[in-house]
């Protein structure tokens, strides 16, 4: 049984999208993975989605609207939701300042270094008390 029903992947790199979707699929981690390529598409999707995602995997460096800008918007909008999605940063940055800054956002639950692996998914499952 999947840990999550719906995962929203906010990522602009097509190879990373492919790897993430395939890793999630192989692990049986989610019933559905929706991907968008920037923060603005994520906002548009969240505003229109009939059912909100349970988990958001968010890249930081994207065109149009980056991860930081998305988090600023999300922090004000999420209060309108009956269920708050868990947000994890999924980034290739090695800058400890980015990790520190990300954890200052109250809606961010963790930071995952790319590439997304089955081990990462296993750790998330443990955090949500579910076994893959």
What are the boundaries of each domain within the chain? 4-127
Find all residues with CB under 8 Å of 110, minimum gap 6, and list them: 88, 89, 124, 127
Domain 4-127 is of which CATH architecture?
A: 3-Layer(aba) Sandwich (3.40)
- Check: CB of residue 45 under 8 Å from CB of residue 33: no
Res 130 pLDDT > 70: no
Query: Model confidence over 100-123: pLDDT tens digits?
Result: 999 999 999 999 999 999 999 999
CB atoms closer than 10 angstroms to residue 116 = 24
Report pLDDT for 71: 97
pTM, full prediction: 0.94
Query: Model confidence over 2-37: pLDDT tens digits?
Result: 889 999 999 999 999 999 999 999 999 999 999 999
Query: Model confidence over 50-90: pLDDT tens digits?
Result: 889 999 999 999 999 999 999 999 999 988 877 889 999 99
Find all residues with CB under 8 Å of 13, minimum gap 6, and list them: 59
- Check: CB of residue 87 under 8 Å from CB of residue 62: no
């Amino acid at each position: 049984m999947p840990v999550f029903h719906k995962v929203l992947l906010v990522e602009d790199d097509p190879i990373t999208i492919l790897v993430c979707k395939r890793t999630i699929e192989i692990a049986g981690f989610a019933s559905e993975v929706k991907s968008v390529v920037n923060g603005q598409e994520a906002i548009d999707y969240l505003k229109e989605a009939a059912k909100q995602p349970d988990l958001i995997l968010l890249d930081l460096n994207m065109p149009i609207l980056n991860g930081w800008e998305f988090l600023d918007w999300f922090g004000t909008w999420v209060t309108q939701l009956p269920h708050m999605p868990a947000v994890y940063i999924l980034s290739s940055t090695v800058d400890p300042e980015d990790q520190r800054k990300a954890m200052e956002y109250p809606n961010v639950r963790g930071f995952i270094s790319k590439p997304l692996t089955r081990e990462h998914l296993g750790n998330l499952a443990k955090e949500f008390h579910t076994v893959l």
